[in-house]
A and B are shown apart, each in its own frame.
Chain A
């Protein structure tokens, strides 16, 4: 991205003249051309729809203990098999998927939003604002997460529980916590890109034309800095789903009887050599989600890159 003149579409000379379209529509047209991205978007929507509406069709209770059917492999009665208490894994996966996906996306949104905000402001301004924001970033990077988590949850759990109920309260806490520990890399990435981009000719040009700083940032610099951010954001979804499982393990996440995907994977790990199906499905679900999100991310990136011709 760094070190170039303002790019012009390299093949535009020979292209037939097209009716001008709005950038949004243009991006959509480009996105549709990216076949993997479209397929991934479809698969991702199927996963999301399944966890949203699946429990309506698969009505087995998630906590029905059946000691006569423990650690069973997939069968018609239990398509994903059962865990060590004989609970149906499909039902648990569908239920847990809602939480895992919601946590993943929401935490990613928080991290990316805060990260871009801090990174962009630090990157475009110099001197004391940059120093102060980097101070904040360094602070967050060096805070020990575990005691801080203990403290946050201990301080706010009861208050939030009164406001929005136990499950929603824990959800908000976890999203905030994971999000607030995930924005620093995004911020530093964006800032680094800004350092480089703000010296570029096209920015100089825009500035010379009298563009205000916000316009400069939003219209000119930010779109060019989004590449690494999209990658970071898509990785953040995976990181958030995994971080939630670590939190659950430490007793800071959802109550242990709520089967999030990360939690299922964690519970399954000691039985890996005897009951691989238990780990296979949640692991596969996380992988599928990450895979599709990343391809969608790639598609978006290419679609938003004005230099590419598709």
Chain B
């Protein structure tokens, strides 16, 4: 089906000439899944903008007792503009809310906004240069002050000021925010911006009250008393906070949504390890919910057998993948290892890369290491479903890999290791310290050794591997080894920030202090062109096609090898209804959390 056909069909749905169900059935006939077809309709404006993917909220009254949540990492601060990690963002989210949340299917749900902007409502400019948010009028801060457009504008001023040192600055410094009236704000972009839902949305959009922070913009930001005693609009009011330990809240009885929140009080306790967190929910029921259980599935299944709780698996965009260095990490060129001016002696050979991709036994890795927490992946860009390519397939075959290498002239030497000329297939494979990663390394090493490829395993402490320390040779951005593996996170339901990891102007090098995002150091003109086109493409269908093309280029050339997707795995008591979204904070839908009898 060509793009034109698709467009015509969508037009018919819009005019009412074709039912939505009929459209979905036709799409299914050409191999598109139902969610993807729904997505197509949604992005073309032919479906309700609000998400359909959340469970209904059934309680008719409050007073549900205590909600106890367990995180194995503890939050250290409660100002969303300073919140670096997930734990801090989640803890802030109890009290502060954004204009809209990301639902599990990658669509927006209004929260402090009265509605989601759209072209039909004329709140989304056709040229992609502005977006107008209409705000709810019935929202009060926890101290009784009225929430209004001034608060929204203030957050922009607060975050964009470099002296404030807000980590959310990236979302706010390139936009202009205007107050239209007391309950309307307009966000203006310098260039046509297809992805407009960044500022004021989800994690980076949590709003802090102007009346408490207005004297603490810039250099004095750290002195604001409200940094440690948040006053927000959320379902729970602040009760107490011990940095690095526990944060507690009590029900906000004047919350703007009916019958919410369900619980009288709630707490997030931090620290410890993931396995015992899972035990506290699944085995003893001491806690209601345990966050991010990066635990072997085998263990989780055994704990679930106690029948007290269940494991939640929520799809997002995170992916565990392998990178094959395209530059030479072992020899300095102009004083720089892995310089962009060098080429890797063997990994630039497509045959070697293809062989390596055939040696990753994703099925075993899924079955025996990650389980539900890591389904085998064939794509780099997997979600939301509208961006997922159907063209990539993966295979595990030592025989095929051997054949490809034989054909390409890589012959086995006396020690069984393949070589061509004086280039031998010996690699250093690095990753961070993390039990499943070391096991995956072992599985790949064993397969490679049967194919005449010798792999030396190296593992680096996570706090060193993922640091941006310019002086350290072991960081992942330096990539001074042949192969490396880690999880890259997709923090938004839009792939633009995610897919810039392979554009040539993002190559990580000494010049940019290894801050570039293209760590594998691959250059491809076709990819660059596709990315540039997607940046300004306002047509959602064309834009999705461009991202799919980028995925196929990088995966099809075996520059990276996707290993497993990393959905967020957590545990809840059987009686707890805890709506979760892979595109937003765990706490995003806290207002809907409740207990069933």
Contacts and interface: CB of A to CB of B under 8 A. Distances in A.
> When A and B assemble into the complex, do they touch directly, with CB atoms less than 8 Å apart?
yes
Interface of A: 63-65, 67, 70-71, 84-85, 150, 154, 250-252, 255-257, 267, 270-271, 273-274
Nearest to A273: B302
B349 interface: no
B123 interface: no
Interface string B215-235: 000000000000000000000
Given A70-B368, A270-B275, A274-B302, A255 B446 contact: no
7 contacts: A63-B446, A67-B368, A70-B298, A85-B443, A150-B464, A251-B460, A252-B461
Most buried by B among A85, A251, A257, A271: A251
* Majority secondary structure of chain B interface residues (helix, strand, loop or mixed): helix
Pick the 10 closest A-B CB pairs, nearest first: A251-B433, A251-B461, A256-B438, A270-B275, A67-B368, A256-B459, A65-B446, A274-B302, A67-B364, A270-B299
B461 A271 contact: no
Contacts of B435: 256, 267
A255 B458 contact: yes
B296 A255 contact: no
Given A84-B296, A85-B368, A154-B474, 12 more contacts: A63-B442, A63-B446, A65-B443, A67-B368, A70-B298, A84-B298, A84-B368, A251-B460, A251-B461, A251-B462, A257-B457, A273-B302
Contact of A65 (B296, B367, B442): B442
Contacts of A65: 442-443, 446
Interface in B402-461: 433, 435, 438-439, 441-443, 445-446, 457-461
A63 B441 CA distance: 12
Contacts of A271: 299
Contacts of B446: 63-65
B472 interface: yes
A255 B461 contact: no
* Majority secondary structure of chain A interface residues (helix, strand, loop or mixed): loop
A146 to B, nearest CB: 10
Contact of B461 (A67, A84, A250): A250
Most buried by A among B298, B441, B443, B462: B298
Contacts of A274: 299, 302
B275 A150 contact: no
Contacts of A251: 433, 459-462
A85 B459 contact: no
Contacts of A255: 457-459
Nearest to B438: A256
Contacts of B443: 65, 85
A164 B130 CA distance: 64
A251 B462 CA distance: 9
B438 to A, nearest CB: 4
A274 B445 CA distance: 28
Contacts of B364: 67
Given A70-B368, A256-B433, A270-B299, A85 B439 contact: yes
Most buried by B among A64, A71, A252, A270: A270
Contact of B367 (A67, A154, A267): A67
A150 B368 contact: no
Contacts of B442: 63, 65, 85, 257
Given A65-B446, A70-B368, A251-B433, A257 B438 contact: yes
A256 B440 CA distance: 12
Contacts of A256: 433, 435, 438, 457, 459
A67 B296 CA distance: 14
B126 to A, nearest CB: 53
A273 B441 CA distance: 27
B356 to A, nearest CB: 18
Contacts of B433: 250-251, 256
Contacts of B459: 251, 255-256
A270 B294 CA distance: 13
Contacts of B296: 84, 270
Nearest to A67: B368
Nearest to A256: B438
A273 B279 CA distance: 12
Most buried by B among A71, A250, A257, A267: A257
Contacts of A64: 446
A305 to B, nearest CB: 46
Nearest to A71: B298
Nearest to A64: B446
A50 B442 CA distance: 26
A38 to B, nearest CB: 42
A223 B355 CA distance: 66
A256 B431 CA distance: 11
Nearest to B274: A270
A251 B302 CA distance: 28
B376 to A, nearest CB: 15
Nearest to A248: B433
Contact of A150 (B439, B461, B462): B461
Interface in B132-173: none
A252 B460 CA distance: 8
A84 B295 CA distance: 13
A271 B298 CA distance: 9
Contacts of B458: 255
Nearest to B276: A270
A256 B461 CA distance: 11
Contact of A154 (B302, B441, B472): B472
Most buried by B among A63, A71, A84: A84
B508 to A, nearest CB: 21
A152 B445 CA distance: 29
Contacts of A84: 296, 298, 368, 439
